[in-house]
Amino acid sequence: MIERYRKQILFDGVGEEGQQRLLNSRVALVGCGALGSVIAQTIVRAGFGFVRLIDRDFVDLSNLQRQVLYDESDVEQRLPKVVAAAVKLTAINSEIEIEPVLADVSFENIIDLTKDVDLIIDGTDNFEVRFLINDAAVETGTPWIHAGCVGSHGQVMTIIPGETPCLRCLMPEIPDPGSAETCDTAGVLASAIQVVASLQVVDAIKLLTGQKELISQSLTIVDVWDGSLRKLDISKLNESQTCPCCSQGDRVWLEGERGSQTSILCGRNSVQISPSTKMSLPFAELQERLEQMGEVKNNSFLLIFKPKESDHEITIFQNGRAIIGGTEDLSEARQLYARYLGY
Ligand SMILES: [Zn+2]
């Protein structure tokens, strides 16, 4: 069992005791897209004992440029990312317990999804979810590793609640829509993602082998295009104890006061709609109804509906959550949702 980790054990920073700790560790990975698939593959190979994969999306052709866990057959089958990822990861290392969760992380489920793990790793692509993770992590005292990547650059920040600054110490509010670069406007290089995800995994190994003193209180900024790596000291960020979250106890994201039911999916020309009440209509009945208005495919995890004479494609999950393809216009997406799903 230990043989497969021999090269990692030989490395001084891990050793046999460290490896044993990794094998006993439990991690929640939020987001199985670009960062998430590199992280998942690396930590499963490294022998992190339990990995909960959380993602809301299915595999799309435009993912394959950087999302290393997926291939063309996953695109063809429209598999949810967590389902495709679990199959690949189990084939890589069958000793690891993988728990795929097909869900949109929200204030209603984040505590349940993260309360029994030692570490949360950020594989997401949006600040709403990151602020929600930050609230939950600070609330439960669970360390988390934030990262983001756009173009050729990215950033990593590891947060140990109560000991290091949190994400809201760094940025009290999420960037205004349109003010920050996104993968949609600036694209993203797979190489940048691999470097950033690898830095996240290194901090995860330090934390889970019991070496949190090795985590630097810094924001690491990498650019693979110019080959630079900078570490900005953030140890004094919250010296005056003004952080709304970790100093003043504000949990607006976790309490559901912030965050939206509708969001544009980065790089996908798609909008996600999460209804506030769960769909009660059985899938089979919904399929029958939709078949009168267009073409429907069902892969047992989701329904893919193409309305007649329309360029849109609507992917519907069991609880009524839908991804409307072919638009980035929120009101158009809501209209389509209302027209076909009747909310
Ligand atoms: Zn803070």
Residue 243 located in a structural domain = no
Do 211 and 104 share a structural domain? yes
Residue 40 located in a structural domain = yes
Rounded distance from Cα 119 to ligand 1 centre (Å): 18
Residues in Cβ contact with 11 at an 8 Å cutoff, skipping those fewer than 6 apart? none
Rounded distance from Cα 76 to ligand 1 centre (Å): 43
Rounded distance from Cα 135 to ligand 1 centre (Å): 9
Q: Which helix (H) or strand (E) holds 339?
A: helix 330-341
Do 223 and 273 share a structural domain? no
Do 112 and 190 share a structural domain? yes
Last residue of a domain, one of 195, 214, 233: 233
Do 183 and 137 share a structural domain? yes
Rounded distance from Cα 162 to ligand 1 centre (Å): 9
pLDDT at residue 338, as a whole number: 82
Do 209 and 140 share a structural domain? yes
Q: Which of 43, 44, 37, 98 is nearest to 71 (CA)?
A: 37
CATH of the domain at 266: 3.30.310.10
pLDDT at residue 264, as a whole number: 80
Residue 191 located in a structural domain = yes
Residue 238 located in a structural domain = no
pLDDT at residue 135, as a whole number: 97
Rounded distance from Cα 128 to ligand 1 centre (Å): 16
| Residue ranges near ligand 1 (ion) with Cβ within 5 Å | 166, 168-169, 243, 245-246
Give the pTM.
Answer: 0.89
Rounded distance from Cα 136 to ligand 1 centre (Å): 12
Domain span at residue 88? 2-233
pLDDT in tens, the chain (343 residues): 689 999 999 999 999 999 999 999 999 999 999 999 999 999 999 999 999 999 999 999 999 999 999 999 999 999 999 999 999 999 999 999 999 999 989 999 999 999 999 999 999 988 889 999 999 999 999 999 999 999 999 999 999 999 999 999 999 988 776 666 777 678 899 999 999 999 999 999 999 999 999 999 999 999 999 999 999 999 999 888 999 999 999 999 999 888 777 788 877 889 998 877 777 788 888 899 899 999 999 988 899 999 998 899 999 988 888 999 999 888 889 888 888 887 5
**Count of domains forming the chain:** 2
Rounded distance from Cα 167 to ligand 1 centre (Å): 6
Do 209 and 269 share a structural domain? no
Tokens of 191: 């190489």
Sheet containing 50-55: order of strands: 97-102, 50-55, 26-30, 119-122, 144-150, 153-159, 218-223, 228-233
Rounded distance from Cα 238 to ligand 1 centre (Å): 7
Do 292 and 170 share a structural domain? no
Count Cβ neighbours within 10 Å for each residue of 263-275 and write b for 16 or more, e otherwise: bbbbbbebbbbbe
Residue 244 located in a structural domain = no
pLDDT at residue 178, as a whole number: 60
Rounded distance from Cα 139 to ligand 1 centre (Å): 11
Rounded distance from Cα 148 to ligand 1 centre (Å): 18
Q: Name the β-bridge partners of 188.
A: 151
Rounded distance from Cα 151 to ligand 1 centre (Å): 27
Rounded distance from Cα 193 to ligand 1 centre (Å): 26
Strands (DSSP E) found in 58-159 = 97-102, 119-122, 144-150, 153-159
Q: Say how far apart CA 53 and CA 32 lie, in whole Å.
A: 7
Rounded distance from Cα 106 to ligand 1 centre (Å): 20
Rounded distance from Cα 117 to ligand 1 centre (Å): 21
3-state class (DSSP) for residue 153 = strand
Do 82 and 172 share a structural domain? yes
Q: Say how far apart CA 324 and CA 237 lie, in whole Å.
A: 40
Do 37 and 134 share a structural domain? yes
